[in-house]
Structure 1
């Protein structure tokens, strides 16, 4: 059975790949992108691939009018994929950046979900909300704590919401990608250099670079995004399946080991 699917943050990376992959499977896709230049570029890519079942529209998650417009569109699967990363030491990152990261990744995501769910409940639509979470919803490496915190919050919301919406026949699912090499993680790390200052901060830029390089600069942290896109295309339309999918298996093992290690961690 084909579905009508809206994907946020489809201007690049996993969101774009999933939108195109789902369309190729015959689903009707509304692919949203943050800015008009992204919309234009994505429309050109869709046209070049002759995908007649994809509509591309603008959705800046911090724009009230964009949110209202998106919530009125006709779809029965909402994929909350849009997100940003503000990295850097939590003890020093400017609070304004922490707030912005939560506004995009958590509050605006919940805002859109509430609007869509309310419309579904009123219309008797048994829809599905998919939260594209992350492995860092379960582990919290140093220097990327702000982003991790937003994904922990998203995971908690999804778990609670799943129980709340069962009586209305609305499904909730999370997909937790591992460290796929789309450039997103690297951009989040680089973002901290615009405020991290050796004359002001006690965390040096050299220390930050050493710790983030140790985290990201290895093959297992640069996985092929095509594999994750295939998994998303498989999971998103389904009406049965796991509530949470950590992918790939090696990343799931990392999360399990980290949870066990946390039990024995000492101060």
Structure 2
């Protein structure tokens, strides 16, 4: 066994997940970079970035909508890196569509990826924490859409409200074991997800590409679009000793859009 702490980050091949993985590595964690198989090349690139920081890392393939695959990813992380202390249930998708047009298949898909994955990640992490005798940290991806529902993002908002509820319930259930459960709630982050949202909003409301994004950015008190590193800083806090007495919280990291 190693004395180093180990974190697994889902959806870590790019975007917010990559920034989280690199920040936790800089904090001294060894990292399991988890993502879909078609993201393996990007994921292995993140592994190399982490190794350049002097930490150990491994890429693990995981479809987060599959409980078996998340469990296997956690097992692999613990086996190859020597411990298991933190899971960041980061992977997720957006879905931009009016409520009247959402299909059952689309609802099923977004809940499998954004909600079921969080439950499965919690279950797999807790089993490993308990096996290893670790008081672990569970950190989930919420959103400003977990605090306020947004038009044309109804299914996405519903999925993130669900993450918020799961985070609060799990925190209460797992507190007697010493495990903490928290979530981060980003706003308008400059990643591929918001490129997709902007494109779909343009198709729906006819505004030129980029205008919907800019209008949202204009509503941010701090006056700039969010960077993945802004989110990673909050995750770093939740994973640190400084957050040992914090559980069941959903922390907005949105530059001043919502006030909760």
TM-score (norm 2): 0.81
> Which residue is equivalent to 2:81?
none
> Which residue is equivalent to 2:61?
58
Q: Which structure has the larger Rg?
A: 1
1:81 pairs, out of 65, 75, 90, with 90
| Worse-superposed segment, 227-236 or 71-80 | 227-236
> Which residue is equivalent to 1:201?
none
Once the 2 structures are TM-superposed, how far is the Cα of residue 9 of structure 1 from its aligned partner?
0.7
Matches of 1:110 and 1:22 in 2, distance apart? 22
> Which residue is equivalent to 2:127?
118
> Which residue is equivalent to 1:223?
226
Once the 2 structures are TM-superposed, how far is the Cα of residue 187 of structure 1 from its aligned partner?
1.6
1:240 pairs, out of 240, 244, 248, with 244
Once the 2 structures are TM-superposed, how far is the Cα of residue 210 of structure 1 from its aligned partner?
4.3
For these two proteins, the number of residue pairs brought into alignment is: 241
> Which residue is equivalent to 1:202?
none
Matches of 2:140 and 2:105 in 1, distance apart? 25
* 1:65-116 deviation line (CA, Å, top 9, x unaligned): 5223113232111110000111110111222111100011101221232122
CA contact (8 A) 1:139 1:255 kept: no
Please state whether the residue corresponding to 1:129 is helix, strand or coil: strand
2:74 maps to 1:71: yes
Once the 2 structures are TM-superposed, how far is the Cα of residue 147 of structure 1 from its aligned partner?
0.6
CA contact (8 A) 1:138 1:255 kept: no
CA contact (8 A) 1:59 1:70 kept: yes
Distance 1:55 1:138, change over 3 A: same
1:35 pairs, out of 21, 37, 59, with 37
Once the 2 structures are TM-superposed, how far is the Cα of residue 211 of structure 1 from its aligned partner?
11
> Which residue is equivalent to 1:131?
140
Matches of 2:193 and 2:121 in 1, distance apart? 23
TM-score (norm 1): 0.79
* 1:29-66 deviation line (CA, Å, top 9, x unaligned): 11111124x22223134325624422121111134552
| Worse-superposed segment, 224-233 or 171-180 | 224-233
Question: Unaligned 5+ residue runs, structure 1?
Answer: 194-204, 257-267
Once the 2 structures are TM-superposed, how far is the Cα of residue 16 of structure 1 from its aligned partner?
0.4
Matches of 2:49 and 2:167 in 1, distance apart? 36
Distance 1:64 1:141, change over 3 A: closer
> Which residue is equivalent to 1:262?
none
Q: Please give the root-mean-square deviation of Cα atoms over the aligned residues, in Å.
A: 2.7
| Worse-superposed segment, 102-111 or 230-239 | 230-239
> Which residue is equivalent to 1:199?
none
2:173 maps to 1:176: no
